[in-house]
Structure 1
Amino acid sequence: MMEKYIGNVIEIIYIDREGKLTHRKIKLRGIRNKLIRATCLNTNQPRIFRMDNVLSWGPAKGAEMDAS
């Protein structure tokens, strides 16, 4: 279901490899093999997130979906 947001900004609550909870706003680039490719808008850096570690996600508040 997250795939329909590819190219758009979403917010995630994520547990990192050290076990810390983080709240991030990301631009979703793609999903493959349970890995999420994105640009983290908190750091403006490319990131890969494991879907298994995403605790919650949804469209970013105030962000419009890309029509393309």
Structure 2
Amino acid sequence: MMQMAIGQTVEIIYQDKAGKITQRKIEVNGIREGRIRATCLTTGAPRVFLVSSILAWQPAEVKRYA
């Protein structure tokens, strides 16, 4: 399901291992062995997310400026 999102920007609702739930917009770089490598567009930092900890996701609208 997330395979279709590689190279795209998606919005996720994520629960970290401490139980904190956050909503983030990420650019998916790759998916392997239950982990998503992505760039968090909020912080600009590279992150790794566990697929099993993503509670919901949807394609995100990206604003483009000319």
- TM-score, normalized by the shorter chain, greater than 0.5: yes
Runs of 4+ aligned structure 1 residues displaced above 4 Å come to none
* 1:63 CA drift (Å): 2.8
Question: What is the alpha-carbon distance in structure 2 between the residues aligned to residue 42 and residue 27 of structure 1?
Answer: 10
Count of residue pairs brought into register by the alignment: 63
Q: Write out per-residue CA displacement over residues 1-55 of structure 1, whole angstroms, 9 at most, x where no aligned residue.
A: 1111111100000001211100000000000000000000011000000011000
User: Unpaired segments of 5 or more residues in structure 2?
Assistant: none
- State the superposition RMSD in angstroms: 1.2
Percent of aligned positions that are identical? 51
Number of the residue aligned with 2:46:
46
* TM-score with structure 1 setting the length: 0.87
User: Unpaired segments of 5 or more residues in structure 1?
Assistant: none
* TM-score with structure 2 setting the length: 0.89
